[in-house]
Structure formats: C-alpha cells, structure tokens
Amino acid sequence: MRKSFHEIDFRPQHAHAVPDGESHGNPENPLLGQRMATSNVIGIIPGNDPDLSEEVIIISAHRDHLGQTPDDIHYPGANDDLSGLAATLELARMFMQHKGENKRTLMFVAYGAEEQHEMGSMYHVAHPLPDFPNENIVLMISIDMIGLGYDKWSSFTPAQLNRYASTWYEEVYNGVNDDSDDYSHEYPPEKSGTFSYDAGPFGKIGINNRVFGKAEGIPHYHKTTDSWENVHFGPAAIVTRTIFDFLWKVDQDPRTHAKP
C-alpha cells in the first residue's frame, strides 16, 4: 500500500495504529480467536480553496480480508476488497493529476480489520486525526466489492453514467437516502444493527456517506475462489471513473457542505 502510494507520488501522511483486538464476528473467519495488530493507512491531498479546504472527503476501501487458515487454506479477497483498494489508489492517482485544483481536503484510507466488525473505521471515528475532526468530514465513501455485480455498467451510455454521478452528488448534498439505487447505499444515523461496511461508523454519527459495492447474491463471497480470475475488471473501471466524476462534483461545489 505504501509502495503504491509512492508510485503515484503520493506520500502516506499517517499510519493509524489500531490496537490489538480479539478477532470476532464472522464464524467462517480463520483468524477467529487470534490476537494481532493492524493499521489504517492514510494519504492526504490538502484542499486549495481557503474557504473550503477545512472540509474533508474520505475515499476508502479495506485492506484486510480473511487471511489464511493454519492448514494453509488461503482466502485471496480479490473482489473483497482488493477491487475497492485498486479503485481507491486509482482515484488518488486521478486526483493527483489535478493537484492544486481540488477545493477540499481529500483523505484516502485503506482500513484495517474491516472483516472484524469494522474495527479500523470504528477506531478512526473514535480517534480522528488531530487536524481533521469528524465535524469537518462532509462525505465518507467506502468502496467495497465493485469487481462483480456491475456488468451492466459496460453497456451504459456516457449520459447514463453522468446521470449516476449527478444523482449521487445531489443526494449527498441534500442528505437524501436512496433505497432504490441498486449500486450504492448509505448509512443514515438511525440505521440499526451491524454495519457491514466501513461507512457505517461514520453514518452512525451523522456523516454523509456512500457505499459502492455489492455483496448480496454475489458469487465467491468470503470463499477461497474470490480470486482475480473471477473479478470483472471492465465494469469495475467504469464504476471507478463514475465515482471520480461524482467526487469531483462534490469537491468543486462552491457551497459549504457543513450541515447547519
């Protein structure tokens, strides 16, 4: 992760140390019952508009998966969530090509321990970086599993893609929760139960958020067959490009997004 950040001339600002935690949660998880340390890896592109640079947009994926069992069964996690991590790095690279133009501060995060009940993102919410308090976060997105379930996107016209980017932008700005969107969802504060995505802990405290990714009905989910051969790269690239267009609209909006 650090190496990839360096390759796009993007220096990680911070590595959040997440304290050792007892692995719990998913009964299929081969890490169950073990103690280990992990970290959130964070890179930042500072904002350039004096009135808006304090506002923060978080773009994230998770860097952990299920690991390896003692008898060497390996869970590669290509879709869950290397697909999101690849998109996050690509978005960092695209924004670096527009360095100096982004109005708001962009924070790219690779969260640890998402598969352990979102421990990395929970830690972030509980321990914000000193210069980036939670109240300054205007949007948090979690890209998690875009490698399958987006095949239709290959046939979308540019106008259809733009409609998605514009709709997401309008909804985020207006705080609208859209249950009819097949390709993304959000966590309103009143949502109960477990989170399942890193956006959850942010939504719980009222931060605008979006999840891009599909888990329900997706083959290879949490299986040893979640490998690169089973990821559909073409549609994932189109979704990533559309997420960039969406983020660009949010970033360039001259109005302050801070909630009244």
Look up residue 27 and give its amino acid: P
Burial class of residue 50 (count of CB atoms within 10 Å of its CB; 0-12, 13-18, 19+): exposed
Nearest residue (CB) to Zn ion, 132 versus 212: 212
Binding range to Zn ion, per CB under 5 A, among 21-29, 51-59, 76-84, 100-108 = 76-84
**Distance, C-alpha 105 to centroid of its chain:** 16
Nearest residue (CB) to Zn ion, 77 versus 235: 77
Binding range to Zn ion, per CB under 5 A, among 73-81, 217-225, 235-243, 249-257 = 73-81
Q: Counting contacts by CB under 5 A, is residue 80 touching Zn ion?
A: yes
Per-residue contact track with Zn ion, 183 to 202, x per CB under 5 A?
Answer: --------------------
Among 144, 198, 226, 251, binds Zn ion (CB under 5 A): 144
- Give the nearest distance from C-beta 70 to Zn ion in angstroms: 23
Q: Counting contacts by CB under 5 A, is residue 64 touching Zn ion?
A: no
Binding site for Zn ion (CB under 5 A): 80-81, 144
